[in-house]
Amino acid sequence: MLTTLKTSYTDTRAADLAWALGREPLPALAVLDLELADAQVQLRLLGASHQVLLEQDQGSCSETVACIPGSSTPLPLGVAKRMGDWEYEFAARVETLSPGSFAGRAQELLALVSDHPNGLAGVFPGSPHAFTAMLVQRHEGQVHWRTWHAYPQEGQLVATRTRVGVRLPAPA
């Protein structure tokens, strides 16, 4: 699903993004509710980036990547945590692209996510390449999502990957 977000472009630098687990739902500009087997997932586009809410019988998870006023947790390159019976893994990377490469990558990602039944993308007013996009899938009992946050004025694209699921037994 592709939508134009009705707000100003507030998180204008990749360096301003912060990461948080366990936050309450924040006001969203666009929401996509999905049921993936026994998992309820809500993808939320915020004026300041994204939030994913996951509910399963084993528990719940809330991930926020956004410009959070007063947050002291910058965007980490990677996180691995145990949350009860779950494992949570998060990874982020920042790509710096030339203007031509950035425009092409932005169009490619928006097409991928907007045409996917488990995808949500929002374009900010003022630039067709200023967007946040999210895509979620369930694979082998685990929920995976990817997000992209585009900063055309800097030529930067922030990509994140998350995996949440029941801890898998160690191989014998």
Shortest CA distance to 48 belongs to which of 90, 96, 93, 9? Answer: 9
Residue 11 has pLDDT above 80, yes or no: no
Tell me, what's the pLDDT at 59? 77
* CA 39 to each of CA 57, 139, 158: distance values in angstroms, whole numbers, following the listed order: 8, 11, 26
Tell me, what's the pLDDT at 53? 93
The DSSP symbol for 16 reads G
Q: pTM for the complete prediction?
A: 0.87
Q: In this structure, are residues 136 and 1 in contact, taking their beta carbons and an 8 Å threshold?
A: no
pLDDT 10s digits, 26-79: 888 889 999 988 889 999 988 778 899 998 877 788 888 888 666 666 788 888
Residue 9 has pLDDT above 60, yes or no: no
Q: How many other CB atoms are found less than 10 A from the CB of residue 146?
A: 18
Q: In this structure, are residues 55 and 70 in contact, taking their beta carbons and an 8 Å threshold?
A: no
Question: Tokens representing 23?
Answer: 């936050």
Q: In this structure, are residues 87 and 99 in contact, taking their beta carbons and an 8 Å threshold?
A: no
Residue 166 has pLDDT above 70, yes or no: yes
Shortest CA distance to 30 belongs to which of 50, 10, 11? Answer: 50
pLDDT 10s digits, 76-113: 888 898 877 788 999 999 999 998 899 999 999 999 99
Question: Tokens representing 122?
Answer: 């929002």
Separation between Cα atoms, residue 42 and residue 49, nearest integer Å: 14
